[in-house]
Structure 1
Amino acid sequence: MSDLLIVLLAGVVAGALNSVGGGGTFVALPALVAVGLTPVTANAASTIALVPGAVASVWVYRRQLAPVGETSTAALTTTSVVGGGLGAGLLLALPADSFAAAVPWLLAFATLLLAFGRRLSRALTTALGRSAALGPRAVLVGQFLLAVYGGYFGGAVGIMMLALWSVGLGLDPAVSNPMRVAQVGTVYLTATVLFLVASDALRTPGLLGAMLAGAVAGGFGGAHVARRLPAGPLRGVILGTAVAMTVLYFLRG
């Protein structure tokens, strides 16, 4: 029962984090490893468990979804599906040690982009005398790479998406947060299909169910809270989450 309670509470926190600013994987994965799952199985199980919470968050945000620049939502979502499936396949086929070593540095870079992306975009616009926004093709290439990462590991992929859209398009993280939730949910859902077929996640149905229930509650509640926050405080929450995840990843490594 203590293991189930730990996993349930971790699911609540992870679902809430994902609905507000990302980083839920960092809470979910260590909790599952702590109760006895191997890292690869824990990663697959956390992805599966966080999908319903992401869907609950998307439902809350459904009227606030806005296109990412000039890129169509259909093209962005298709790219997330393909990249997420490829990343999940790589997780099951390749050793994770080398990529895991790079995660703190990738996250630190993404956090810096998230913090200074809008200023950098404005500076580039002023220096070049024209819009510094990425075109739809460049956005889709970046989205594909992030989706592969999300399917493979998933840690803070939402933070990285916000960073890409912030520096590349000058989008406000608070405004683009609903689409971030939707795209992360798409990546997780695609990876989940493969994990359900090819991973060992279903061998521990009690732990999986506990985390799933917690993630749904956390995702639904967190999205309602995020919807009511003004843009400034929400940006602070998202950036604070990014900084915290970066520090924790470095301490963990």
Structure 2
Amino acid sequence: MEPLEAVALAGAGLAAGGMNAVVGSGTLITFPTLLALGYPPVLANVSNNLGLVPGVLGAVYGYRRELRGQRRRILRFGTASVLGGLAGALLLLQLPAETFQAVVPGLILTACALVLLQPVLSRRLARRAEDGDTDGGAPMWLTILGTGVYGGYFGAAQGVILMGLFGAFVRDDIQRLNAVKNVLAALVNGVAAIVFILVADVDWTAAGIIASGSIVGGILGAHLGRKLTPTLMRAVIVTVGTTAALTMIIS
């Protein structure tokens, strides 16, 4: 990898780590960057997953105060995330590479739509925090399981999906729920990363460069998440993601 390419990838990792901590969808920055550098889609997805895990862990650490008193919720939802992430990672490795390349553009465009809808989801979440909803019962557990499968397979906008689910089913403060979202994303990505390390091809150089940027971005994003508007970040994510999807469709 050329020095300028490494710098660009580290910058993408930094931005992705910050975005994952605040709004999610960091994959829509790093994955297209890897594609632009010439990586095959499945190899890019696997290496990207490993590189972003340290950043998500950094975001969990940054939101550690908001996690207090949520042990039961994390254990309950975390079980679904672990099972889903494992299933999604195995699907990625079992299905032909052509299937991934055919499916990913649609997943990216769906993720972009979810990013655009995030303000609506956030307002719904704020209203629900005033109601008497519980943690959603079995339907919530099953939808988190499904989100984990998606996250283990590809994962862009996994955090946005989770926040949308929380907005529909869970009564609590937005920042506390965002902290839980980071934990669940870390579990999904972590389980998938273990599977990939054991049985998949990984470009460790790319993964390491992304990790170096994402862990700094994750910590900074957690600290700045309460102060910064995500509007500009959403615009960047949608632009990059749409470009990546169209590029894969045309190629």
Q: TM-score range by the shorter chain?
A: 0.7 to 0.9
Q: Residue type of the partner of 1:14?
A: A
1:249 is matched with 241
Distance 1:220 1:162 in 2: 20
1:218 is matched with 217
Question: What is the Cα deviation at residue 215 of structure 1?
Answer: 1.1
Distance 1:120 1:221 in 2: 27
1:1-253 correspondence runs (5 A): 1-65=3-67, 72-94=73-95, 95-104=99-108, 106-107=110-111, 110-111=114-115, 114-117=118-121, 135-169=136-170, 171-201=172-202, 204-226=203-225, 229-230=226-227, 233=228, 236-237=229-230, 241-242=233-234, 244-253=236-245
**8 Å contact kept, 2:121–2:167:** yes
Q: How many residues align?
A: 240
**8 Å contact kept, 1:159–1:242:** no
Structure 2 gap ranges (5+): 246-251
Normalised to the residue count of structure 2, the TM-score between the two structures is: 0.82
Q: What is the root-mean-square deviation in Å for CA atoms of aligned residues?
A: 2.9
Aligned residue for 1:220, secondary structure, equals: helix
Structure 1 gap ranges (5+): 125-129
Distance 2:116 2:137 in 1: 23
Aligned residue for 1:72, secondary structure, equals: helix
Normalised to the residue count of structure 1, the TM-score between the two structures is: 0.82
Aligned residue for 2:103, secondary structure, equals: helix
- Structure 1 221/89 Cα, relative in aligned 2: closer, same or farther at 3 Å? same
- Any idea what the Cα deviations from partners look like across 1:156-182, whole Å, max 9, x if unmatched? 111111111113335554341111111
**8 Å contact kept, 2:125–2:174:** no
Distance 1:211 1:109 in 2: 25
- Any idea what the Cα deviations from partners look like across 1:175-211, whole Å, max 9, x if unmatched? 411111111111100000011112211xx33222211
- Structure 1 240/156 Cα, relative in aligned 2: closer, same or farther at 3 Å? farther
Q: Residue type of the partner of 1:162?
A: M
- Any idea what the Cα deviations from partners look like across 1:75-96, whole Å, max 9, x if unmatched? 1111111100110111111221
Q: Residue type of the partner of 1:48?
A: L
